[in-house]
Amino acid sequence: MAYDPTENEITRRSFLSRAIVGIGGLIGAVFTGIGGGYFLSPLWHKKKESWVDLGLVKDFREGVPVKVDFTVRKRDAWSTIESRSSAWIVTANLKEFIAFDPKCTHLGCPYRWSDDKKQFLCPCHTATFGIDGKVVSGPPPRPLDRYPTKVVGGHLLILPQKTAEA
Ligand code: FES
């Protein structure tokens, strides 16, 4: 069999072009992996609980419900969404706190505390709730919803995710 230099040349060119394509593909795969990981990573990161600081425990008063406004920051994949919310805070001893969702459990109207009647009053359908959040009268099907609370370093923190009565 005779030596054919063009056949050798074609083989070398073919090898080089395949090597270039292969290296290019490898570089593309690496950048796709890095970029894809960056953009997709929020989807597999565990969501952190977002406790909200409502201030010093000593600033609340025993037996007097107080409505506190606060800002909720939620990370939604690549952005942070802020919204305003509020809670009714009740404490009997400045050690244990109850945080009520501010919407009536009937149809979601905002209710208020009456110092005279010592009850929460919902004006929409004249419901009343006790200081413990239990329904005293009216159509609400369940007690007021609550937010989890905890005291850390003398501050009252709440987790603004509704739970049923504890
Ligand atoms: S919404 Fe409160 S009683 Fe109906």
What is the reported pLDDT for 135?
98
What does the alpha-carbon distance between residue 165 and residue 111 come to, in Å, rounded to a whole number? 17
Can you give the pLDDT at residue 74? 80
Residue 41, pLDDT > 70, answer: no
- 16 C-alpha vs ligand 1 centroid, how far in Å? 77
Give the C-alpha separation, 36 to 153, whole Å.
Answer: 40
Both structure tokens of 16 = 């080089």
In this prediction, residue 4 carries a pLDDT of: 60
Helices (H), the chain: 5-44
Model pLDDT, residue 18: 83
CATH number of 52-158: 2.102.10.10
Inform me whether the pLDDT recorded for 59 exceeds 80: yes
34 lines ligand 1 (CB under 6 A): no
Alpha carbons within 13 A on the beta-carbon side of 87: 28
Residue-range domain boundaries for the chain? 1-45, 52-158
Distance, CA of 60 to CA of 15 (rounded, Å) = 78
- Supply the pLDDT for residue 158: 96
**For residue 53, what are its two tokens?**
């600081």
> Does residue 106 line the site of ligand 1, with CB under 6 A?
yes
The 10s digit of each residue's pLDDT in 103-157 is: 999 999 999 999 999 999 999 999 999 999 999 999 999 999 999 999 999 999 9
